[in-house]
Structure 1
Amino acid sequence: MRIMLTNDDGVYAPGLRALRNELLPLGEVTVVAPATEQSATGHSVTLLNPLLVSEVYDGTGADKTFLGWAVEGRPADCVKLGLLELLPERPDVVISGMNAGSNAGINVLYSGTVAAAIEGAFYHFTAIAVSLEYDKKIYDFPKAARYARQVIDQILAHDPPAGSLFNVNIPVLENGPIKGVRVVPQNVTTFYEKFDRRVNPRGRTYFWTSPEFLCPEPHPDTDVTALADQYITVTPLQFDLTDKRKLEAMAGWEWKIRE
């Protein structure tokens, strides 16, 4: 199996390295990831600057092995370049992660991790985004990667159609044992956000985004609630944003245009 691995935390992120180590027994893993952290960049792409690319290796001397490419761009840029220019052969699957922090609920819209997977699905590859929820920024990436690989194995065993897209989240491991895996929809209720208002020495007001990004009233039986209950969540996604019901309802509208 040929696997293309990407992320939004950067090519040197520990989450990517841990997931790569777990995926290596499945086949050939090639990394195409941002040179620097690109968290919360969503599905943005680079248009006005060149995409600089450099090869990345692990180890030194005789132990030096090719890891992949670092791209001076966004996660979606990495997937485009990987699929269209860099990889010598088509991968069987595109995997994005492992992200430092969950990508559940409304976070899916902001996530560079999920955007990279969406880009892979757009090019008709099975694509899986993987994220690890944290508490006080404590991450056990190796243990989470072992769980992630099991979930990835089982997704691929069902031979999903080309272009299938899955979002996997692993709960805070320090909160207790994993209870299992749940296939649940994305939560779409509003998250709680706040900003820290400050004034700089020149009297200009500025704001820091608070790290508290909570969902106080999530819908039941969604990714947010299942994660809180110590379940690994799997959510099938799609990138077609058309509101099909509204489209049908609007078919009978009468439109008038005047000069």
Structure 2
Amino acid sequence: MRILLTNDDGIYAPGLRALRTELLKIAQVTVVAPATEQSAAGHSVTLLTPLLVGEVFEDDAKTFVGWAVEGRPADCVKLALLELLPEPPDLIVSGMNAGSNAGINVLYSGTVAAAIEGAFYRHTAIAVSLEYDKKIYDFPTAARYARQVIEQILAHSPPRGSLLNVNIPVLERGPIRGVKVMPQNVSPYTEKYDRRVNPRGRTYFWTGPDFECPDPHPDTDVTALAESYITITPLQFDLTDHAKVEPMKKWEWKVE
């Protein structure tokens, strides 16, 4: 089996390294990932500057890892599928992200965007993230859980183009209680900005580090993750509100 591994934290991120180590136990893994961190890049792509690409090797300088791309996560998947990989992958995995991508954060996430890009091209794609608690990330243990979940997903032969979002809870909170397939929480997060003034008198803002969901509806990914469950959310990139299409067709439309 061939796996394309990418992320938004950059090709040298410890989360990607840990996940690659685990995925090598079940498949041939090729990495195509951003050269630098692209967190919260969403599904942006590079149009006005060239996408520089460089080969990356293990510390022994002999083992080929993949390519570092001076671009966004979605760029990485496009280049991998259209230019860099000699054969198409059987699976695309994006992660492991430093910080959960649950709830409305899915819309901002470069990690999830990379998986979406893979699903565009009719490949099964899985985004993997580890919840943040302001302590040291235990990426190796989380990667082991992620690999087990990925193996079980593949055992069910998901149809081509399947898109899944996996979140691993904070491991320091306590033992994993299990796995839950949950819908995405769509409540807005509470966000804060730190207002400051620079030495020249210009006002600027730093985005606050704390994102809290004030209304974590029960039976959603945010709630289950907080209860120490690994969450899996099947996603789709069709944004059409299909329930409104037929009623709106019956409206009397006019243009002059």
TM-score, scaled relative to structure 1 = 0.98
**Aligned-partner residue type, residue 192 of structure 1:** T
Identify the match of residue 94 of structure 2 among 85, 93, 96.
Answer: 96
Deviation at 1:137, TM superposition (A): 3.8
Identify the match of residue 113 of structure 1 among 102, 111, 114.
Answer: 111
Identify the match of residue 225 of structure 1 among 223, 237, 242.
Answer: 223
- Aligned partner of 1:43 in structure 2 is 43
* SS class of match (2:103): coil
Q: Deviations over 1:151-178 (max 9, x none)?
A: 0001111000000000000000000000
**Aligned-partner residue type, residue 147 of structure 1:** Y
Write the distance in 2 (CA, Å) between the matches of 1:68 and 1:105.
31
Write the distance in 2 (CA, Å) between the matches of 1:42 and 1:250.
30
Q: Percent identity?
A: 80
Write the distance in 1 (CA, Å) between the matches of 2:26 and 2:209.
36
Count of matched residue pairs:
256
- Aligned partner of 1:87 in structure 2 is 85
Matched, 1:52 2:52: yes
- Tell me the C-alpha RMSD between the 2 structures: 0.7
Write the distance in 2 (CA, Å) between the matches of 1:27 and 1:148.
14
Deviation at 1:134, TM superposition (A): 1.4
Deviation at 1:60, TM superposition (A): 2.2
Unaligned runs of 5+ in 1: none
Structure 1 runs of 4+ aligned residues shifted over 3 Å read: none
* SS class of match (1:125): coil
Write the distance in 1 (CA, Å) between the matches of 2:198 and 2:59.
44
Unaligned runs of 5+ in 2: none
**Aligned-partner residue type, residue 36 of structure 1:** T
Q: Matches of residues 65-80 of structure 1 in structure 2 within 5 Å?
A: 65-80=63-78
- Aligned partner of 1:193 in structure 2 is 191
Matched, 1:162 2:130: no
Matched, 1:129 2:127: yes
Deviation at 1:219, TM superposition (A): 1.3
